Structure 1
Amino acid sequence: MSTITDHAKIEKVGTRPTGRIAAYWTVTIILAISITLSGIGQLLRYGGNVDLVTHIGFPLYVTNILGAWKLLGVIAIVMPGFPRLKEWAYSGIFFLMTGAALSHIFAHDYGAGGFNVLLPLFYAALGIASWALRPKSRKL
């Protein structure tokens, strides 16, 4: 009987979720960097951000709102604690990114190779993956 108990203890120690934690941080860092760069680009109206927004019919001031929300969302996701705020930030990123993809679809502004639709959907998928992989300490 003691060998079964010892084996169970060994199994528990051997199955620490280090792979899951590494996956969480890898996905979350990629998401955080991507959304941060996108938010800064919108706030500074850098590169094609002006064309992306105005071409689909949005006023230019929306870049200030979206850029600020993106940066605040990244801060909420990366900082320790505040699990309810993290839930809101993840949902905000999901709705922001799927809304961007749908806005480009409805405006028939797909970009080269569908880039204007695929990139925000990729960010939404990263957000879902980060949310699903998050450790217990970052959950409600």
Structure 2
Amino acid sequence: MNKEKIKTIAYWVITVLLGANFLFAGFIYLSRNPEVLAGMTQLGYPQYFPLILGTWKLLGGIAIIVPGFALLKEWAYAGMFFNLTSAAISSGISGLGAQHVISPLAMLAFVILSWWLRPDKYKLTPNK
């Protein structure tokens, strides 16, 4: 198997896992899960915040899984980056345990890998 084929397979495995995670999280947030609401309270966020985050998580998960739409994918990856780094920082500042800081940073590694491994057809090309 050549390098390009391996890279493509790695991209799709990582991207599907990442997208599924964001889709699942979006559903949990939108369902007003009691654990999510309790977590938002611990972080000092309002109770409507999971509805906003859940919507963006669902849309981001869809955006990175659906083929094509390079610009939309770039926005989704950026949103995931901001979401996960903000989650880690918020958890750290709020004094939650180390696992609440490490978990979003571990998921951030999947975001970076998915973005880095994406095929050329999913990358923005400069206007010529």
Q: Provide the TM-score with structure 2 as the length reference.
A: 0.91
Shift of 1:115: 2.1
User: Structure 1 residue runs of 4+, over 4 Å off?
Assistant: none
Contact 2:14 2:113 in 1 (8 A): yes
Question: What is aligned with 1:103?
Answer: 90
CA RMSD after TM alignment = 1.3
2:76 aligned with 1:92: no
Shift of 1:137: 1.1
Question: What is aligned with 1:77?
Answer: 64
The secondary structure found in structure 2 opposite 1:81 is coil
Question: What is aligned with 2:47?
Answer: 60
Aligned length: 124
2:30 aligned with 1:43: yes
Structure 1, unpaired ranges of 5+: 1-13
Q: Which amino acid aligns with 1:133?
A: L
Cα-to-partner distance string for 1:64-109 (whole Å, 9 max, x where unaligned): 0000000111111111221011101001001101101100101111
Q: Which amino acid aligns with 2:101?
A: V
Contact 1:28 1:130 in 2 (8 A): yes
Contact 2:23 2:62 in 1 (8 A): no
Q: Provide the TM-score with structure 1 as the length reference.
A: 0.84
Question: What is aligned with 2:6?
Answer: 19
Identity across matched positions, percent? 41
Contact 2:21 2:61 in 1 (8 A): no
Question: What is aligned with 1:115?
Answer: 99
2:113 aligned with 1:129: yes
Counterpart-to-counterpart distance in 1, 2:74 and 2:67 = 13
Q: Which amino acid aligns with 1:22?
A: I
Shift of 1:16: 5.3
The secondary structure found in structure 1 opposite 2:46 is coil
